Structure 1
């Protein structure tokens, strides 16, 4: 891969799969609505894998495979350190991946694609054909090539390639791996993304129109959104999806564009990854109107959102972890960015990673409460502690709390860290990471909580919720 730093995170990406449904005719945005949402579907959802439903054990192995690759990339990368829109989110369990996905409508007239929702990736991209003629066999109006949905850029009147001779290509998009080659001034600016697991995406940059559903039920067009027209996807990560929705904390991401238009906030509430397919959640861009979609079951808390500490990720300042009211003895360097530590929230990683000084201490405190149950070793599952949960008493699970520097406390649900993996087996849902390195609060730990990212106030709000 030419020795470059890998920028896109593996499909673990919060693979939030947002689904925009065309229920109403498209209208230009009016000021009467100030948010939009995308539906989120977990990547293991049966709707994506009718022919091979996954067992809980298979799902766990898949989650871990993607998590490990993603965390390796995250660590490597950090070493080089108004109206609202709404998109429905659904668990993508049956896609064979552990993230969330959505449907995105791209172009004019719009074409619909299933994309992974990734808070760690900068660029929104879709499987695409740009260079084609009327008689080309790979550019049919049906929008499919070899059974895969493909965006036919030639059929979109709003598709505007970024010229390779522009400063935007030569300077701004270098961080997204634009290619320096420029045979003619108007040749589209090309990119070549590589993944640590051998997957890759290649194509050209363009400004394009994306159609989304407003929270008042109408539709609106978001113009001049930077997208990647990818004519080459390699690797298993893209087998069951058509592209990726980049939500990272950078100027080029879809999140950055959406929050500028809709009030500098976005929020989501993740249903349990094992929920029935009918359980739907949303990622909403815009004002606090998004809270109307979910009923909170507890008081909301706020903590500081560190937007510059671990770019392009969303970081928080953790002070420590307590178990059953007792603060654990974890070195402060684990949480200190200046000493090689730090903590991020990542909806694209399933399990929660703790660097070794914290991991060992937390595991010791939790294993005491489940040591009376027979220990189990699962095939191809690297979690340290799994056990037979026959006769398991949930009241014996100690209360784990993450304490933030400003006094806020996050109390995850017990089944978000003592997780069911099928066959009467549960596991402690943490994985170890090297230090120096970053701790990651994964999407299972975030489940059944409402999360709101206020990018103006630099605050993260969270509250327990059934996400419905």
Structure 2
């Protein structure tokens, strides 16, 4: 059992916010917006702790940090899965039918986080009135959108940094009383605290992370401004946010907060998607890209000309709801290496048999249940063994080698086959990764069975991913992700 401050325990899906910075959250019915469909884009910047020294590749010590975060994050996914399996099922019919179609779309810059020294991608949003820019981690595993904030002070102590929300200077900031049903019941699974000095006191939260990091603050409603490509600026009013006044932890320091993109009633996705046709998409630039190379997080129907595709768009079913809720699951049939389907037990891919697979923007590497990992490694080992194996103590990465003379054309292609016929073939560089100058590793991790497998953001790079929540399907296609 994981404990939180305030004397309570974390139950239900409170685990999800713990996932954010340890390598990165139930679902409810959503009502259609009166404004109908549309679209928006938010720019993605890769926030990645695989920072490089000159042109030599990622720093070794930061590679170790990413590994530590991914492993800790996975432990939380597994421990929470058992609790979610007995949780009540939310209404699915409303989720599938409540969205409206539209032609407008909303976008915002999104880049790799390499230059921020973290393991996720970062997106720019504008919060408050007048609007102020914030760089937030784009996390498909988080319910809550929160940012650095100073509620109790008119001015920041010790000066004013750009990425701090000042409620006293925003005309649209509104707190949630701690005595309200919203605080005591609705936000219980988002770490709301039971303390309530007086009925009008703000509803407080206290996030505690596995690595000792934490964020404390209050819940509020605030306006988030976005730029519509079709009709100019648009305001998303009364968005639930977290105003975090106290933040501790190395991973939390380089950015201004988190953009919650989970399959959840209170996430940014829930509000933005239902206003823009029930879908969102992103195209992840190479994970070692600098922050001057960006693409966009888009809500609505994004013109393909923005990031030209290098192949046909394929579609597969999104597995939403219990027991993977509020993460985004996919229905895998099997995995091939060099065109040959491996004999991985079908239970590995079945959520109700101890397995299942999720696609996650907040995990860097791809984690595979042990039965799948063993067969995949065995199929790749012959092509990797031609290079000199090195021991840089990069556990749990099991195979690293001297990359001198490396030729990726000699590495068999990996294929993820979905039950409905779609096949995802990542680039070789997405699973044979740079770990340090002159060193490459098989960028797949083995996790215990039974257990959920996770498709991380490095494997997703250089592809467009479209999450169509209205129709319950996931689209993907190869792309340079160079924004035009």
With normalisation by structure 1, the TM-score equals 0.89
Cα-to-partner distance string for 1:277-321 (whole Å, 9 max, x where unaligned):
43211110112x243311011111110001114011000011111
Contact 1:60/1:381 (8 A) holds in 2: no
Distance in 2 between residues matched to 1:330 and 1:229, nearest whole Å: 46
Greater CA deviation, 254-263 or 79-88? Answer: 79-88
Aligned residue among 50, 64, 69 for 2:67: 64
Contact 2:397/2:444 (8 A) holds in 1: yes
User: Unaligned regions of 5+ residues in structure 1, if any?
Assistant: 15-28
Contact 1:202/1:231 (8 A) holds in 2: yes
Match of 1:403 in 2: 417
After TM superposition, give the deviation of residue 191 of structure 1 in Å: 1.2
Distance in 2 between residues matched to 1:416 and 1:203, nearest whole Å: 37
Secondary structure in 2 matching 1:415? helix
The alignment of Structure 1 onto Structure 2 pairs a total of residues equal to 444
Query: For 1:79-90, what aligned pairs fall within 5 Å after superposition?
Result: 79-81=82-84, 82=102, 83-90=104-111
After TM superposition, give the deviation of residue 421 of structure 1 in Å: 2.6
Q: Does 1:236 align with 2:250?
A: yes
Match of 2:260 in 1: 246
Query: For 1:202-213, what aligned pairs fall within 5 Å after superposition?
Result: 202-213=216-227
Cα-to-partner distance string for 1:353-394 (whole Å, 9 max, x where unaligned):
001111111111111111121111124453101112222222
Greater CA deviation, 230-239 or 343-352? Answer: 230-239
Aligned residue among 78, 81, 93 for 2:81: 78
Match of 1:125 in 2: 146
Q: Does 1:457 align with 2:461?
A: no
Aligned residue among 14, 25, 43 for 1:39: 43
Distance in 2 between residues matched to 1:33 and 1:251, nearest whole Å: 18
Cα-to-partner distance string for 1:214-245 (whole Å, 9 max, x where unaligned):
22472221101100011111222211111111
Distance in 1 between residues matched to 2:295 and 2:58, nearest whole Å: 23
Distance 1:10 1:151, change over 3 A: same
Greater CA deviation, 195-204 or 79-88? Answer: 79-88
Match of 1:7 in 2: 16
Distance in 2 between residues matched to 1:98 and 1:358, nearest whole Å: 24
After TM superposition, give the deviation of residue 441 of structure 1 in Å: 0.4
Match of 2:312 in 1: 299
After TM superposition, give the deviation of residue 76 of structure 1 in Å: 2.0
Secondary structure in 2 matching 1:63? helix
Secondary structure in 1 matching 2:42? strand
Distance in 1 between residues matched to 2:449 and 2:309, nearest whole Å: 36
Contact 1:209/1:222 (8 A) holds in 2: yes
Match of 1:19 in 2: none
Q: Does 1:360 align with 2:374?
A: yes
Aligned residue among 98, 120, 132 for 2:119: 98
Secondary structure in 1 matching 2:83? coil
Contact 2:115/2:291 (8 A) holds in 1: no
Query: For 1:191-270, what aligned pairs fall within 5 Å after superposition?
Result: 191-216=205-230, 218-270=232-284
Distance 1:168 1:269, change over 3 A: same
Contact 2:113/2:121 (8 A) holds in 1: yes
Secondary structure in 2 matching 1:363? helix
Query: For 1:164-179, what aligned pairs fall within 5 Å after superposition?
Result: 164-179=178-193
Distance in 1 between residues matched to 2:305 and 2:179, nearest whole Å: 46
Match of 2:348 in 1: 334
Distance in 2 between residues matched to 1:49 and 1:323, nearest whole Å: 30
Cα-to-partner distance string for 1:322-341 (whole Å, 9 max, x where unaligned):
11122111111111111111
Contact 2:49/2:65 (8 A) holds in 1: no
Distance in 2 between residues matched to 1:383 and 1:143, nearest whole Å: 42
After TM superposition, give the deviation of residue 158 of structure 1 in Å: 0.3
Greater CA deviation, 261-270 or 91-100? Answer: 91-100
Query: For 1:291-440, what aligned pairs fall within 5 Å after superposition?
Result: 291-309=304-322, 310-440=324-454
Distance in 2 between residues matched to 1:290 and 1:79, nearest whole Å: 40
Distance in 1 between residues matched to 2:74 and 2:304, nearest whole Å: 31
After TM superposition, give the deviation of residue 31 of structure 1 in Å: 7.6
Distance in 1 between residues matched to 2:36 and 2:468, nearest whole Å: 21
After TM superposition, give the deviation of residue 49 of structure 1 in Å: 11
Name the Cα RMSD after superposition. 2.6
Distance in 2 between residues matched to 1:344 and 1:101, nearest whole Å: 20
